[in-house]
Structure 1
């Protein structure tokens, strides 16, 4: 068999592929006489002068062919229809589950819906559990995002202030502290404030043995640990903490944290007692949303 070099431009006009012959109503009756490189493989060529006309199918044959095609389409659709969205998909896009086929899109959606419902239930469970607890709400304002406490506030579940004080840190507030831009507390404000070592026992008496709720408990816990470490006070590891920010995030089905201002619907200047009360407002709102009757003494 002759191999034609140089590509299609060197192929004589009488040489055609099967597809080319079919397009002009012909079919080869003899073996290919040449081949040309098609870019990926050698393509066989036939002499069109020895080809014959394709026989036209009868009406009966055409009807039978169309019926077979319709049956094939119906079978394909039945075998490749998602049981959830009812869309016909490619076989590669379907997974079999419990005797039914579900497309990848629906699997992702169902997985997210299950996670979403689980998140909301977990968040609601936290708020329900707190309703029966004798908790306190604590908030700290700090020198910076990994520094010391410059203000601490604590309220009880009825909103009564149990403790509030500015705190003079061991290390001054940095001039460029992003935390100061939030709460506005400066070194001048702290000049006559007590040190952490002077107020720690008063704080400890209030929070020890209680559930401590905070909006971003991990941060407030870290700040108390930092202040204790820098003033050489042993931090009691048995203190019980829980995070209102995390529980609220779950009730909203959110993968990301939500700010206290957004959660409470309040504009805040971010001072300790104000943030404590905003956190209590979030708790009360969730109790109301999940159908817990709040006593007047708690409102």
Structure 2
């Protein structure tokens, strides 16, 4: 089962302020590639101090980076037509939707699922389901709150969930993962 995991870090509480995007491609049940890009956000040079404290990305780090609109032609081919997975997908896909809307860019034709939701259904009774707790439980090492590392960790966690449930295809996903796949354009 092939899929792409995605993670955003934002400069401010506004959802259209991504300052980093990370993606990980999974092909034939193997992590094939992880990439990330720093982004000069719309609100540059304003960064919220809380956001910086979480991810460590500062205005100086993105001063010479492309805007999301400039970066989109590079990122879009990784997402178009794919099954996308994010941990706490409501956040990451709201960042994607809001940012694309801000720049008047159409949504890619893609489907998505949430690793937070299927983790809650698969591994019942845990004290916490955040990415760090789940990765600690499954011995997945990563640098939390950096987009490449978070997307890679989400891919590794998803592969563990697929193995645990015996899910081999998207057609089995809803039943075995006890979670839904939704069209991004909905």
TM-score (norm 1): 0.48
Q: Which residue number in structure 2 is paired with residue 53 of structure 1? A: none
2:66 is aligned, of 191, 194, 197, to: 194
Contact 1:136-1:213 at 8 Å conserved across structures: yes
Q: Which residue number in structure 2 is paired with residue 211 of structure 1? A: 83
Instruction: Tell me, in whole angstroms, the C-alpha distance in 2 between the residues paired with 1:156 and 1:139.
Output: 12
Which SS does the other structure have where 1:171 is aligned?
coil
Contact 1:261-1:268 at 8 Å conserved across structures: no
Structure 1 runs (4+) greater than 6 angstroms displaced: none
Identify if the C-alpha distance between structure 1 residues 248 and 233 changes in structure 2 by more than 3 Å, giving closer, same or farther: same
Which SS does the other structure have where 2:44 is aligned?
coil
Q: Which residue number in structure 2 is paired with residue 276 of structure 1? A: 151
TM-score (norm 2): 0.75
Structure 2 spans left out of the alignment, 5+ residues: 169-186
2:98 paired with 1:223: no
Identify if the C-alpha distance between structure 1 residues 144 and 254 changes in structure 2 by more than 3 Å, giving closer, same or farther: farther
2:113 paired with 1:242: yes
C-alpha offsets along residues 56-109 of structure 1, whole Å, 9 cap, x if unaligned?
A: xxxxxxxxxxxxxxxxxxxxxxxxxxxxxxxxxxxxxxxxxxxxxxxxxxxxxx
Structure 1 spans left out of the alignment, 5+ residues: 1-132, 294-299
Larger Rg: 1
Which SS does the other structure have where 2:61 is aligned?
coil
Identify if the C-alpha distance between structure 1 residues 155 and 146 changes in structure 2 by more than 3 Å, giving closer, same or farther: same
RMSD: 2.5
The alignment covers a number of residue pairs equal to 160
> Of the two structures, which has the highest relative contact order with CA contacts closer than 8 Å and spacing of 6 or more?
2
Contact 2:4-2:155 at 8 Å conserved across structures: no
C-alpha offsets along residues 97-153 of structure 1, whole Å, 9 cap, x if unaligned?
A: xxxxxxxxxxxxxxxxxxxxxxxxxxxxxxxxxxxx321111111113433111111
Instruction: Tell me, in whole angstroms, the C-alpha distance in 1 between the residues paired with 2:69 and 2:127.
Output: 35
How far has the Cα of 1:173 moved from its partner?
Answer: 6.0
Q: Which residue number in structure 2 is paired with residue 8 of structure 1? A: none
Instruction: Tell me, in whole angstroms, the C-alpha distance in 2 between the residues paired with 1:137 and 1:269.
Output: 15
Q: Which residue number in structure 1 is paired with residue 123 of structure 2? A: 252
Which SS does the other structure have where 1:287 is aligned?
helix
C-alpha offsets along residues 265-290 of structure 1, whole Å, 9 cap, x if unaligned?
A: 14633111100111122123223433
2:11 paired with 1:136: no
Which SS does the other structure have where 1:189 is aligned?
helix
For 1:1-299, what aligned pairs fall within 5 Å after superposition?
Answer: 133-147=1-15, 148-157=17-26, 158-161=30-33, 163-172=35-44, 174-236=46-108, 238-253=109-124, 258-265=129-136, 266=141, 268-290=143-165
How far has the Cα of 1:186 moved from its partner?
Answer: 0.8
How far has the Cα of 1:234 moved from its partner?
Answer: 2.8
Identify if the C-alpha distance between structure 1 residues 256 and 197 changes in structure 2 by more than 3 Å, giving closer, same or farther: farther
